[in-house]
A and B are shown apart, each in its own frame.
Chain A
């Protein structure tokens, strides 16, 4: 490798790192202060690019000067910053007191809405922005040409870092941001106007995302896939750097992009996996990221989000559930094939969501990557049935949960060692690695085409029969999982969730219990995955995608993670809403997003949580426990 090539490749890496840092810094600041995992950050980035390809060419009509180009870029970023403020005031401010996961759900609703709004306003065709005036050319370096604009970008990152550090250390706003990042409750207790602080932070965060997007226009066309392509990478950077740490994000962006610039020379196919592998390694070695600190609040007794009062069924509830089950089982008798198909899907997703709630609601283990186990089960079953073995469906349905459980055992071993958001991000990393393997290993998995011909055995080939196969397996698994909530194992998990330290002190092996829960949930998801693939006849990587993991989260959050049965209702509601809007309009994602936000605002405890709250208020259920009130104060 000659020197000039080495230098050029390093410079390319630096330029990309710089661009990535600008975006990730905003995400890490917002998370540090508000503790919101802001999925909409990618949407702000995309909006920044679209604003810039609109504003900048208009400005350049007056004078093709570099100054006007950068005025346009800053103006675009400012507009996006204002949109961030609007999101904070209109939406986030109303939900700071609901469980943190709900805020994530709301920001994902925003992602869906922005996608369709962008499509409506700017159309589906990529819009290529102008090059920066005066920076079209290449600079000769050691006999090779390097784009002047990239050279400029290399300096933008450090400049933004410097400006942020200056704000953080020299202004009152910055000091408050640092204080809130360190201990939000304390800042509140000291009488700081949190509303203003949060609004300001969201402005800064969205501004940086918009700036990152606007700066991309000479390199990338504004396109409708920008939001999701950047968001995972930005998350990875913030996690590797340590959530809330701006210098950490800078270092992480540098490491990732340099690794990529040179990694592709040796492993040209590695890009998709590389960042997640790196994140997994960093988190295993440094559980709080490179420059993150353990959360102060993590040692504090806070009421957890999740199932608090475990109750058995009252007589009415028993009757309601029995009636619902019978109604479900009668679908093939009265409904058409399509209803049967939807019924199958709801049962399958309900099982996956229910197993996820064993982790989240019951164990406090927030998984952003539950689709990994769903997918592993599906792939195990699909490849068994279609591979050289041509195994029957029955065998595949036995192997699938084992495969899901094994994958969960492997990944879970590392995952349960972490806490909070870092744990969630590691689940995401493992899911993405699994996804990348299935997506890119075409010889074995069929790549994104997947594998077709995954149909049930002959006796179960009719939709109606298969419906009952799914009903028996899914419902009995759900009943078994539900039983787990009530066993000493379930209580132990909740103890470990509520206070890992105290649970540890009384002799509970917290990690092992969490690990076991992970394996059980993985196995159940694996079974669900296999059942799903037999219902649609194929396997493909979308079953492992982030979108799928988010769908599962949506389902349990819609139903309510504070209840045992909520995920089942949530699944039915979520799936029905999607199924209702999809045939109606091209803009179904907009309506799905609006529905999600409406659910978050109207039922902050999920649908079932709301029903239970209503019953308590009407004084018919159990006496209202004090717990929710305390939870509110703690939030």
Chain B
């Protein structure tokens, strides 16, 4: 799909009311829908998952209004949404239900890493294709990777590398790190130490804090970090932990005259709740919806606002991108056979509102990137400045490492 084409359709589709999707008319999709099962934590992780589903619905509507899946005889695309209960046990049962009862051609989704890994393994066992959209853990494409699992979003390592690339020029040597104490936090810190250590001679970590997820004791943590007198802080906290940490740190002056590098903090999901306390100049990965102008992005923002009366979040972007990848995959595979779909996904390039996204064959990880920039306040609105879109291709695991981890 060309850039121009996309923006026009986006506007048309966005202004059209719901229900356009399945009404038969000239140019719209026809025949029995091709079903895809999508599981996510719509209940427990609603802040991310609901905007994500909105993005998907918008994209599916536009795809079907524009003639559906050309490679499948113009059949419409249908996504069946299910709650994964936010636990691997529930998720695997729901996946089974989608595959056996709804006869979906493949499954997609999951937010939590453990749910994603469990679904990936389920897919491997049952020989079903699984498109992991949101889970961040590197295990999904590396150590626990399998031929049936593809991942869309840039993983923990990729996002950490984006930040290290952006911050290493500052030459800061004394770092303090703070991360939630679970796999995501620990592997982000490990990647940071490895990459920053290689980039900056004399790099050292002078303090590490690993508060329990969801119950950071912000005062004590800020105190412990300040005590070590670092020159830079690497933060992996997010959500409510992050807000508490930022407030406490602001009052106590923790961030003054220090370089702060922070994972995911620029995503509206986590940035907006910071409100007027948003610190200035943190180097973050994220998404500034109002400011991205490339690849017809503002048409998407307009259509999204028109349909949902809300600004898109990072989840919305991801949700919007994924159905187009699915469409292109079906157009290439021309079949719902798992083997054909897997082959089609490999090295498939899709034109998206983030630019071209390719599904790298070797680790089945897409090159979807993220925006890296600095946090700032525009009036009262927290957003990013000096940002650029970093293509995922720039920060992927080296192929040799992938081969070693995936044993191929």
Contact = CB atoms under 8 A, between A and B. Distances in A.
Q: Do A and B come from one complex?
A: yes
- Determine chain B's interface SS by DSSP, over half rule: helix
Q: What bracket does the count of chain A residues touching chain B fall in?
A: 35 or more
Interface string A97-125: 00000000000000000001001000111
Given A12-B223, A260-B217, A583-B97, A271 B211 contact: yes
A448 B220 contact: no
A448 B113 contact: yes
B362 interface: no
A499 interface: no
A341 B240 contact: no
Contacts of A271: 181, 211-212, 215, 217
Interface string A201-225: 0000000000000000011110111
B117 A9 contact: no
Interface in A536-576: 536-538, 540-543, 547
Given A264-B224, A338-B97, A138 B181 contact: no
A128 interface: yes
B117 A119 contact: no
B247 A218 contact: yes
Contact of A124 (B50, B93, B144, B252): B50
6 contacts: A126-B273, A436-B212, A449-B139, A452-B118, A543-B89, A588-B83
B355 interface: no
B212 A272 contact: yes
B21 interface: no
A119 B93 contact: no
B171 interface: no
A536 B89 contact: yes
A271 B215 CA distance: 9
A540 B223 contact: no
B46 A452 contact: no
A542 B181 contact: no
B231 interface: no
A537 B219 contact: no
A582 B94 contact: yes
Interface stretch (A145-153, A280-288, A475-483, A511-519): A145-153
Interface string B237-252: 0011001100110011
Contact of B85 (A9, A440, A582, A587): A582
B195 interface: no
B93 A536 contact: yes
Given A261-B220, A442-B183, A586 B42 contact: yes
* A136, A452, A537 — most chain B CB neighbours (10 Å): A452
Given A265-B227, A586-B43, 4 more contacts: A221-B244, A223-B239, A223-B240, A536-B118
Given A9-B224, A221-B243, A583-B94, A450 B217 contact: no
B43 A336 contact: no
A125 B251 contact: no
A127 B47 CA distance: 11
B203 interface: no
Interface of B: 42-43, 45-47, 50, 82-83, 85, 87-90, 92-94, 96-97, 99-101, 112-114, 117-118, 120-122, 125, 137, 139, 144, 181-184, 186-187, 208-212, 214-215, 217-224, 226-227, 239-240, 243-244, 247-248, 251-253, 269, 272-275, 277
Contact of A452 (B45, B82, B121, B248): B121
B144 A219 contact: no
A453 interface: yes
Contacts of B244: 219-221
B248 A219 contact: yes
A532 interface: yes
B210 A269 contact: yes
A537 B182 contact: no
Contacts of B113: 448-449
A337 interface: yes
A9 B274 CA distance: 25
The 4 closest A-B pairs by CB, nearest first: A124-B46, A12-B219, A447-B183, A452-B121
A588 B182 CA distance: 27
* A116, A225, A448 — most chain B CB neighbours (10 Å): A448
A17 B217 CA distance: 11
Contact of B90 (A123, A136, A218, A582): A582
A583 B118 CA distance: 19
Interface string A448-461: 11101101000000
A433 B301 CA distance: 46
A583 B117 contact: no
A446 B184 CA distance: 11
Nearest to A538: B118
* A12, A127, A449 — most chain B CB neighbours (10 Å): A449
A450 B118 contact: yes
A229 B216 CA distance: 10
Nearest to A541: B114
Contacts of A448: 112-114, 182-184
A342 B248 contact: no
Interface string A464-476: 0000000000000
A125 B218 contact: no
Given A145-B253, A338-B96, A537-B118, A128 B248 contact: no
* B139, B212, B277 — most chain A CB neighbours (10 Å): B212
